Amino acid sequence: MTEFEKILNDLKNESSKCISCGFCDSVCPTYKSSGYDMAKTARGRAQTGLNVFREITLNDLSLNVSDTFYSCLDCHVCLQVCPTGVDAGKISDIVKAIISEKYKKLQKPEVNLIIENIKKYKSPVPLKKVSYEWLGHIKYGRSDTLLYTGLMYQLMPYTENMERMRKKLGNKLFHIMISMASVIPVFSRFGRPDKRMLDRTNNTLIHIVELLNKSGISFDVLGYNEPYPGTLLYDYGYINDFKDYITGVYNILKNYKKVITVDPHTYNILRYEYKKYIPDFNIDVYYYTDFLNKSMFTNSGKTVAFHDPCHFQGNTEYNGAINIISSVAKAVKPERNSNLTYCCGGPDELLYPDLSMNISKNRYNQLIEKSQNIITACPICSYSLSRNGNVNDLADFLVKCIK
C-alpha cells in the first residue's frame, strides 16, 4: 500500500463512522456562524470526506471541497460529543493533505503564499526589524533553557494590517492581490505590521520575560535567528514539507535541554506533533506559566472571564494558565469551556474573515456575560476576540498583580 493509499484508507475509516446523528452540529463553531451552512459543520465534513474518498477511488476528485475543509478550526470539540468517535478535524486534516499532494488546483492562494513564505523566510510573513524591538528591553543570557516565541505574537500585527487592507480594498481586489503574491512571494516583503498591535504584542512579550525573571528563571533567546515552528505547514496538510522543515528547527532547538513556549499553538506542536516525525526528540517542552511563582503575586480582587484556547483542551488538556489566573483573581468560565470550549475564530481569519468575525463575536458575547474583564492565554485568541471589545492577555494581567 502506497503512502497515498494509506491516507485514503484513513479518510474512509474516519468518515464512515459518521451516523449523521447531528450531535456535532450543536457544538461546531463554524455551523452557526456560517448561517447554518451544512458544508461548514462537523457532520458535513464527515459526509463530504466520504464523498471525497468515493470520487477519488472510482474516478477522480471533481468536487470543489476546499471551503468545507479549510474552514475547519481544528478545535476537535465535535469529537467530545460524537457517540461513534468521529473527529471532523482529523478528516479535514486528511483532505487538506490530499489536496496538497494531488489536487493543488483546489488549494486556496492564501495557503500557497503562506507555504512559500515559510519555506523561504522561515515565517508565514517576512518580519520587519520592528518586530524584534522587544529584545532590547529584556534580560537573557547563555543557558540550557530556551525561551522560544514561535513568532506567534510577532505575527499578529501583520494579520491586523492585512485585515485593514482587505476592508479598504474589498474582498475581490484583496483576493487578486493575494493571488499575485502567491505566484511571486517576494511581494509579501512589502507587508507592514500595524503599529498599535505591534506595541501591544511587544509589551506582552516583555511582560512574559518579566514574569520569568521575577520567578528566577534564566534562559537564552534566538533573536533574529528564531524560526517559526512550522505549524501552518502541518495545519494545511503539507506533511512532507513539514517533516523536512522541522528537521531544521529541531537542529537548532536540540542545543537546549528545556524549551519554554509562550503560546498554545507552539506548545502543542512541539510537545505532541514533533515527536511523531522526529524519533530522537528529547527536549522538555513547557508553557511559561509552568515556571511562575504564585507567591510573587497579590490577589487582584477582580472577577475575570477566562477563555480556554482550543490547543489547551481536548486530548492535550493543559491547566497551567487557568491555575495561575485563579491564584490572582476569581476566574469564571462561560458555558462553553474546557474540552467543550468555543473557538475564538482566529484560525479562519486569513481564509474566511467574515466567518472568523462571526465566530469571534459569538465567543466574545459568551465571555462578556460572565465578566467585563476577559482574559486569554493565546495571541491568536487575544487578537481575534479583541476585535469586539477589550481583552487582556494573561501576561499583561499577571504583571499588574506582582507584589
pLDDT digits (tens, 9 = 90+) for 69-111: 999 999 999 999 999 999 999 999 999 999 998 998 888 888 9
pLDDT for the residue 64 = 87
Cβ-based neighbour number of residue 8 at 10 Å:
17
CA distance 28 to 92: 13
386-397 burial, b at 16+ Cβ within 10 Å, e below that, comes to bbbeebbbbbbb
Query: pTM value?
Result: 0.92
Which residue intervals of 307-401 are DSSP H helices? 320-326, 353-368, 379-385, 394-399
Residue 370 CB-half CA count within 13 A: 21
CA distance 233 to 242: 5
pLDDT for the residue 115 = 93
| pLDDT < 50: residue spans in the chain | none
Which residues in the chain are classed under CATH 3.40.50? Answer: 294-399
Cell 481583552 found at? 391
Q: What is the CATH number of domain 294-399?
A: 3.40.50
Cβ-Cβ contacts under 8 Å for 272 (sequence gap 6 or more): 316
Question: Which of 325, 118, 354, 153 is closest to 236 using CA atoms?
Answer: 118
Which residues in the chain are classed under CATH 1.10.1060.10? Answer: 3-106
pLDDT for the residue 89 = 95
pLDDT for the residue 161 = 80
CA distance 272 to 144: 21
CB 83 within 8 A of CB 21: yes
Tens of pLDDT, residues 211-221: 999 999 999 99
Q: What is the CATH number of domain 3-106?
A: 1.10.1060.10
pLDDT for the residue 366 = 97
User: Residue 355 corresponds to which cell in the numbers above?
Assistant: 466567518
